[in-house]
Each structure stands twice: as structure tokens, then as C-alpha cells.
Amino acid sequence: MDLNEKNLAVRLAGKRIGNNIHFYSEVESTNDVLFRLACDGAPHGTVVIAECQTKGKGRLNREWQSPPGCNIYASIALRPPIEPVYAPQITLMAGVAVADLLSGYCNGGVTLKWPNDVQIGGKKVCGILAEMSASSGDSVDFVVVGIGINVNIKKNDFDESIRNTATSLVEEAGQNISRLDLAADLFAKFDDLYTRLLDSGFGSIKDVWLSYCDMVGKQARVIFNNGIESGKVLGIDDFGALVISDKNGKTKRVIAGDASVVKG
């Protein structure tokens, strides 16, 4: 069955995530559309999904390639009862939800790269961009979690700049994937993990996140606005920071940037 408004509405009726769904054939960015809706009071679990994006946003002001008819571009509004400093837990939780989901579609090889890239065989298959509104340091108003999954896009249709570093489910699983099933399963998985996060805390989600992460124990380099940090990856902390041990054995936290494993 096709991914369209009617079919999705049937699959998501009564669910906490996606019961209130806005389906578009084209938007600039699902995150931007949902951010505006959330500012106007859209409830927890509201979803914006689009067939294509003309200004799909990636992390660090990058563009997210968003051609029509082949992938998933979705944003989910959450109203978590947490302090803003813990909001990165939501992003990491989203990574675990996608990693669990995609593990069901291909036989192994799904990993998480800090902070939130989902990879198969070391190539990026999904990106997550969370944007928060908080009017005070005490509580989050809402978080918009944007998820882009490369589903049925073929290798040759990726922009040349990412052709060798990106992949899609069809390339990895060898067959076309139902975007309707994938989207419905994504929202269900997301809801399970979100409920677990609120009920049981970040501990178990963090453990699963670390089990998917293949950077722990390796030397990594993190590039960010003001420079570069290098060191052995020790793990992540409860604020979503990457914890590394530098060449002098000093423990450091890195809160944002682009991480890659290096030799030596």
C-alpha cells in the first residue's frame, strides 16, 4: 500500500504518536512546518510528513537531500516533562528507535554514530535533527524531532557529494521497502522508547545506544565550530555529550560536532 495521508491515518488512528498527522506532498522542511504548528499549540504526538522537501535541513546547517517518492521525511512533536538540559536524551532515544527499526529490515550492520547518525555498514541511512523550544531553564515547551530515512533511493540518485558515504534500505536489503509500513512502525517504536525513557529513565536507553555505537574504545576526532578534539571514546553521558579521554588521559566532554573514528 502507498504512503499517503489516507493510508497513514488508518494505520495511526488512536496512537499517541501520529494520531494527529499532517501530510504534505511538498514542504520546505517538515521540522519548520511542525515547529510553527507546535508554537500554535499542536499537541504531543503531532506528526508532519512530506513526500519531498525543498529545503530539508541537516545538522550543522547542512542540507538534507529530500527527493520525492522514495524516502521518509517526518517530524514528531513531543512535550516532555523534562528540563532542557536533558533534551539530548530525546535525540539519542530517537536514534535507538530508528536503529531498532532498521535492524528488522536488514541482517545486522546497523550502528549509531554520535550524536545521532544511523548507519548501515558504516554508511549513513538516517539523520535526526531535534529542535527545542524552552522559555525557561526549568522546562521544555516542546521538541520537534525530525527524522530522514533513505528508503528506496538508489545509489546513483544520491548527490555525488554523499554517494560514497550514504546508503539506503533498498541498497542494503536488496528489495523495495514499503514506506507505509516503515513509517507506521517508526512511530510505534518511537512511542515505546519514549514511554520507556519517561517511565524508567535514560539508563536502559543509554545502554542500548552504546550497544549500537561502534566508536567506544576507538580513537575519534570531533570537529566543531571552534576546533577539534581528539581522544579515545569512553561513552556518552546523561546530557548526550560524547566522553573522550585525550592523549594526556584527561576526560573531556564534547557536546556538538562531527565525530569520526581515526586510526592510531
Write out the residues near ligand BTN by the rule CB under 6 A. Answer: 29-31, 53, 56-59, 62, 64, 73-75, 117, 127-129, 146-148
Q: Which three cell numbers stand for residue 216?
A: 567506544
Count each helix (H run) and each strand (E run) in the chain, helices first.
6, 12
Q: Which residue, 214 or 251, has its beta carbon nearer to ligand BTN?
A: 214
CA angle 191, 196, 198 (to 5 degrees): 95
> What's the closest the beta carbon of residue 117 comes to ligand BTN, in angstroms?
6
CB of residue 73 vs ligand BTN: minimum separation in angstroms?
A: 4
Q: H or E element: which one contains 179?
A: helix 179-200
Q: Which residue, 130 or 140, has its beta carbon nearer to ligand BTN?
A: 130
For residues 67 and 232, which CB has a smaller minimum distance to ligand BTN in the complex? 67
Residue 205 CB neighbour total at 10 angstroms: 21
Nearer to ligand BTN, 58 or 84 (CB): 58
Beta carbons of 96 and 205 less than 8 angstroms apart = yes
Give least dist CB 63 to ligand BTN, A: 9
Q: Tell me the sheet residues that pair with 27.
A: 53
Residue pair 74/30 in contact (Cβ under 8 Å)? The answer is yes
CB of 164 to ligand BTN, least distance (A): 16
How near is the Cβ of 53 to ligand BTN at its closest, in Å?
A: 6
Closer Cβ to ligand BTN, 234 or 256, answer by number: 256
Q: Strand, coil or helix: what is 187?
A: helix
The CB-nearest residue to ligand BTN is: 127
